[in-house]
Amino acid sequence: MTDLTPIAFKDPSILLCGEVGYDMYDDFRQKLGAAPASGVVVVEMTTLGGDPEVARMMGEDVRFHSQIEPERRFVFLGKAAVYSAGATFMGFFARENRYLTRGARLMIHERKLEKTLEINGPLTTTLASALALVHEIEHSILIQNEGFESLIAGSSVTMDELLKRAPSNWYIEAQEAVALGLVQAVI
């Protein structure tokens, strides 16, 4: 696959800006449907984060369309800030199809959970509630780590390094992202 030059990014087919959520997903799906049927399809994104499951839904759409429509090349362009759920979404693009603008920053962190568990009632019921929360946490970690593996595939970043840095919000400048092999180039 050849590196793209800046002219390829002049008129992105899909522009996404703001919080990753259901409104962004609706906008993404509409723009995906209207995108060219062949050639480069640039997905430009700027986000401070949002819902990681929505990012996964959009990512699965990119993965699916990339597989069934080989005449289209889906390319990610991160502009300014690609934080949290944005990095999750970027991980669904092939590494050679990931680009950032100058000065852009990636931010990778662990998923967050905010939940209150109230224990009140018969012991078997309270045990079931506690185990349900443990299972939710365990599976959320598995899903998170699947996304991390996709993001670092083909790069020099190890899973151990990522897991060490992610709890404290790992910010990566565009040129560093290229040096680490997380993205193809800076535009």
Q: What is the domain extent for residue 56?
A: 6-186
Flag whether 45 is in a domain: yes
Q: Whole-angstrom Cα distance, residue 66 to residue 112? A: 30
Give all strands (DSSP E) within the chain, no chain letters.
14-17, 39-47, 72-83, 98-100, 105-108, 170-173, 185-186
CA distance 168 to 56: 22
Q: What is the pLDDT of residue 124?
A: 86
> For the chain, what is the domain count?
1
Task: Profile the chain (187 residues) by mean pLDDT over runs of 10 residues.
Answer: 90 98 98 97 98 98 97 98 98 97 97 90 90 96 96 98 97 98 97
Residue 144 contacts by C-beta under 8 Å, 6 or more apart in sequence?
A: 52, 110, 111
CA nearest to 51, candidates 28, 77, 75? 28
Rounded CA separation 92/132 (Å):
29
Query: Cα(146)–Cα(20) distance, rounded to whole angstroms?
Result: 19
Strand stretches in 18-162, DSSP E: 39-47, 72-83, 98-100, 105-108
Compute the distance between CA of residue 19 and CA of residue 124 in angstroms, rounded to an integer: 40
Is residue 1, in this structure, part of any structural domain at all? no
Q: pTM to 2 decimals?
A: 0.93
Strand 170-173 and strand 105-108: pairing?
antiparallel
**The domain that contains 78 carries what CATH number?**
3.90.226.10
Residue 104 lies in a domain: yes
The CA distance from 13 to 102, in Å, is 20
Is residue 19 in some structural domain? yes
Is 152 inside a domain boundary? Answer: yes
What local confidence, expressed as pLDDT, does residue 2 receive? 83
